[in-house]
Structure 1
């Protein structure tokens, strides 16, 4: 039995335009023509169109289908490859959903990686915009251990009431204001450092090296905090005997 182009298209659930396109790109062989010049499609053509449509619904592109040919071994290999790609996509989407769930549950900033530790997430929620931006920079220059150390100290910084004053400190704050604030903050920062000895080696696992990380961190501080805040940081460092160190603490 022979079918016209429209009939074979209808049988396969395709459009006439699609069937003609399959011919144009070499996916479907041209059928014989009758005495009247019309194409006569057979069962093999119908099966080929059905196969093409099935593969496209599975996610294969037309060039991929063309590369498969008709050999079953190539077909099976392509299916296995697609299955692996889909498995990786499903895994990525599952991880993304977990991240979204954590962000929604914790109210954490979306620009920072979600935390499975509720205490850490709670600390992040109270950070200033500058602190959040600074942490985002740290995610790009520190290794996992270093990032955890700085995150712990920066989050803990806001346990002291003076931290809120630091966040609101205007760029034109006077000398006396900056001096008194540094003196109030220094004991708290000292306690934070004592409780986080890993801060001393926080730059050790930096992917691009400690020097690069330190330069980036210092540049971020200068860009994200105002002159009065930077001055207070330096004063705290002087009071603790550690001037010039990178970062908030």
Structure 2
């Protein structure tokens, strides 16, 4: 029995282009041709093609199929490596499905930072953007703590800061800073690592600091930055007073 390229492709459940690609890579030998120049495949070609397809189904990269297909000494190691990669891929897919379920459950934007689906409605565009950047700068524990901070913040001050125009007056800035300061101070108490985050950094301290500075300058207007700066100073002062009152160092 002899088959044309199209017939072989249909029989093996693949495409003519795939067979031609295997020829170019040297994975499938070119068959003899008929008198009219058309390729003529036999049973051995079909078996070889089906073996190739089996390895592809397992997820084996084409670059490794030649060695694995011949049963070389590296075959077990290649299969173990492939199994590790597949396990990691499955984990990523399961995590993606879990994230999608959370997005649908909470009616959150599809591009919300992972883990922040339930609080997405509280995040301004700038806040969401900065959290996306944080995911590349801090470890998972830090991001979990950050989500808890957002969950615990029931004050509407986030909306007020988000709506603050660049030319906001002095009184408005100070009032917002004084509202925000206790929240920041409580975060510093609940999450001491905020004062020294080095242990939770995913990047170097220099890269983290420079990226943070660039991000906040780009994402927040001058009045918002002023409020954040004032609130930070006030929060640290409130924390110092509280510690002195408690006799802490």
**Same-fold call, TM cutoff 0.5:** yes
Q: Write out aligned runs for 1:1-249 (5 A).
A: 3-6=1-4, 9=7, 13=11, 25=26, 27-28=28-29, 30=31, 43-56=43-56, 64-68=64-68, 70-71=70-71, 82-115=82-115, 121-157=117-153, 159-241=154-236
* Unpaired runs of at least 5, structure 1: 243-249
The answer (yes or no) to whether the contact 1:149–1:202 under 8 Å persists in 2 is no
So what's the TM-score if we normalise by structure 2?
Answer: 0.68
Taking structure 1 as reference, are residues 67 and 152 closer, same or farther at Cα in structure 2, changes over 3 Å only? same
Query: What per-residue deviation string (whole Å, max 9, x for no partner) do you get for residues 175-218 of structure 1?
Result: 22212322333334334433433422334321334444233223
Distance in 2 (alpha carbons) for counterparts of 1:162 and 1:18: 59
Computing the radius of gyration over CA atoms, which structure comes out larger, 1 or 2? 1
* Unpaired runs of at least 5, structure 2: 238-249
SS at match of 2:200: coil
C-alpha RMSD over aligned residues: 4.2
Quote the offset at 1:137 in angstroms: 1.5
Quote the offset at 1:169 in angstroms: 0.8
So what's the TM-score if we normalise by structure 1?
Answer: 0.68
Quote the offset at 1:167 in angstroms: 1.7
Taking structure 1 as reference, are residues 30 and 174 closer, same or farther at Cα in structure 2, changes over 3 Å only? closer
The count of aligned residue pairs is 234
Distance in 2 (alpha carbons) for counterparts of 1:218 and 1:38: 66
Distance in 1 (alpha carbons) for counterparts of 2:155 and 2:37: 89
Quote the offset at 1:229 in angstroms: 1.0
Quote the offset at 1:23 in angstroms: 6.5
The answer (yes or no) to whether the contact 1:149–1:196 under 8 Å persists in 2 is yes
